[in-house]
Amino acid sequence: MLSPEAACGRALSNPFIRKLEHAGPLSPDERQALSRLTLDARTLAARQDILPGQDVERVYLVMSGIACRYKTLFDGTRRIVSFVLPGDLCRIPPTSRQSSEWRVGLLTRCSVVDVSRAALQELMVRHPGLNRALWWLALAELNRSREWLVNDSRPGVQRLAHLLCELLACLQAVGLGEENGCELALSQVDLADALGISHVHINRVLQSLRKQDLIVWQRHRLVVPDVERLHDFADFDPAYLDFGGLSTVIDPLPAGD
Amino acid sequence: MLSPEAACGRALSNPFIRKLEHAGPLSPDERQALSRLTLDARTLAARQDILPGQDVERVYLVMSGIACRYKTLFDGTRRIVSFVLPGDLCRIPPTSRQSSEWRVGLLTRCSVVDVSRAALQELMVRHPGLNRALWWLALAELNRSREWLVNDSRPGVQRLAHLLCELLACLQAVGLGEENGCELALSQVDLADALGISHVHINRVLQSLRKQDLIVWQRHRLVVPDVERLHDFADFDPAYLDFGGLSTVIDPLPAGD
DNA sequence: CGCTGCTTTGATGCCGATCAATTAGGGTGG
DNA sequence: CCACCCTAATTGATCGGCATCAAAGCAGCG
């Protein structure tokens, strides 16, 4: 409501569509169908959870801002398992179950729209290209999640570097962020919880990256002077975001890996 | 070839089918179609990687034994990101790319069969139930991967306990393993690499679990005297393996979460 | 302009990595 | 049947990365 921009997705392009294009080309038809999918655009304030709507038949689509999926361990720690960036779909898990449950939290102010699950599924049967694209999406997500697991085995400095590489690459993929920098309105605590590192330590590790001129990060803006160098330092291979670049070679595999 | 058992999957039931049944009921038709899917049954020795076959149009299906997906960090460490249990599909990633690449390793002797990707996909269009089931499979895998991520934030003892809970539950789900125990032919090093913990420390943590009578583990056999108690100790919620138990309530969501 | 949340710095301590070496099992060939 | 070997399991000792506790600068904001 505050942002009429977010509501329209006017030129048949929004972050979601831009992201899906990475799975392979979409027909104008498919692009159009996608752009008609969005419902009830609205803006939500930072620092709160998205609560499960009354309507289970909808999923959320983030158009701007950053959210996260997380779980709270019983010692009170919050562990973020993935960021929800512009163009990302997410289902809000039912809050029902016992203590330890998945939640989606808004890290910055976000504009979101709803998408009808039924409509989305209908599109998948009518448009094989979209079916492929959505499979690609799910498998890319799985791939990224596993990449995070691997990242957990790296020492702190590289771990942070790797995460920053990924964030930059993902934002670039949906048209946010330039060649060597992007807006990044996360707090150090958010990064810490995503890496499973204390916020005190994150700060020190951050300083280390700065001291090596690998990054500059001020007033919500991340700048990477030499992307190549940061990639090397973090052992980051951008290919994995495209599901290993396989998307153009073979159709996604419908399961398991 | 050594094990004619593995080749046939005779009574329209094999671990793969048993696993899919967790996504919801399958029609006899669908079960039959699935059982006809398997090609070239064979047995592979432990302690080697599955190399990418010449035929990209096939995926592997493990019928018995345990494999793992892993990546080797450049310091030589192996990080396992998921176990491949009987009934699990897996694609062998092309070995092409640079150093750091996904690999699938056999942790025990395994019997595997091939599945034609084309045939599988064809089944998905013909049988909506299978389509749903395979989506469920992928999303359950994603869910599990995120659960591992959360697990990485727990202290060692609980981390191990949690993993053992999951292994037991997954094996039970495909009909291997009894109420409070199962065969588990993994080495301590395998567990260590899956948890991102040194093999020395795993040993100590294991002893701690034994001392508390939470588990007994001898000669490749895991026994859990009191499953409930281990679950509590590990903060393990078996529901997540069924994708939050949602499978029976709503169709899986075709993306992101 | 005071509040509140984020960042930064210092000091201490523990979990778990690492190094080093011994013991136990399983399998093999003489 | 035993000597031998190779791998997995176990134990001890040392070390370091990172958590934790505590508190001080800083910035945005109503």
Q: Quick one: closest CA in A to B133, which residue? A: A255
| pLDDT of residue B202 exceeding 50 | yes
Q: Quick one: closest CA in A to B87, which residue? A: A256
pLDDT grade, residue B240 (50/70/90)?
confident
| pLDDT of residue B46 exceeding 60 | yes
Instruction: From B142, B125, B112, select the one nearest B15 (Cα to Cα).
Output: B112
| pLDDT of residue A7 exceeding 50 | no
pLDDT grade, residue B4 (50/70/90)?
very low
Q: How far is CA B87 from each of CA A256, B90, B165, rounded to the nearest angstrom? A: 10, 10, 18
**Cross-chain Cβ contact A253/B196 below 8 Å:** no
pLDDT grade, residue A5 (50/70/90)?
very low
pLDDT of residue B101: 86
Contact status of B253 with chain A (Cβ, < 8 Å): yes
Contacts with A, B 94-123, CB within 8 Å:
94, 97-98, 100, 102, 117, 120-121
pLDDT grade, residue B33 (50/70/90)?
very high
In angstroms, the separation between the Cα of residue A59 and the nearest Cα of chain B is 8
Residue given tokens 């002893």 in the structure block: B207
pLDDT tens for B71-114 read 999 899 999 999 999 999 998 887 655 556 899 999 999 999 99
Kindly report the average pLDDT of chain B as a whole number.
88
**Cross-chain Cβ contact B148/A149 below 8 Å:** yes
Mean per-residue pLDDT, A190-215: 98
pLDDT of residue A3: 43
DSSP per-residue string spanning A139-174: HHHHHHHHHHHHHTTS-HHHHHHHHHHHHHHHHHHT
- A108-CA/C3-C1' distance, Å: 21
Q: What is the pTM of this model?
A: 0.93
Per cent of chain A over pLDDT 90 is 75
The side-by-side arrangement of strands in the sheet containing A110-116 is: A38-44, A110-116, A58-64, A89-90
List phi, psi (to 5°) of A222.
Answer: -100, 130
List phi, psi (to 5°) of A213.
Answer: 60, 25
DSSP per-residue string spanning B20-62: HGGGS---HHHHHHHHT-EEEEEEE-SSEEPPPPS-TTEEEEE
pLDDT of residue B158: 98
pLDDT of residue B256: 60
* 8 A C-beta contact, residue A158 and residue A234: yes
* Ordered structural domains, chain A, with CATH: 4-138 (2.60.120.10), 155-234 (1.10.10.10)
pLDDT of residue A55: 76
More confident residue, A94 or A239: A239
pLDDT tens for A120-153 read 999 999 999 999 999 999 999 999 999 999 999 9
Q: A68 forms bridges with which residues in the sheet?
A: A83, A105
pLDDT grade, residue B203 (50/70/90)?
very high
| pLDDT of residue B244 exceeding 90 | no
**Cross-chain Cβ contact B142/A141 below 8 Å:** yes
pLDDT of residue A52: 78
Mean per-residue pLDDT, A202-210: 98
- B42-CA/C23-C1' distance, Å: 37
pLDDT tens for B20-31 read 999 889 999 999
| pLDDT of residue B257 exceeding 90 | no
SS3 sequence, A193-205? HHHCCCHHHHHHH
Instruction: From B64, B66, B50, select the one nearest B14 (Cα to Cα).
Output: B64
Contacts with B, A 1-60, CB within 8 Å:
56, 59
- Written as one letter, the residue type at A207 is Q
- Packing angle between helix A128-151 and helix A28-35, nearest 10 degrees? 70
Which chain A residues are closer than 8 Å to B120 by Cβ? 254-255
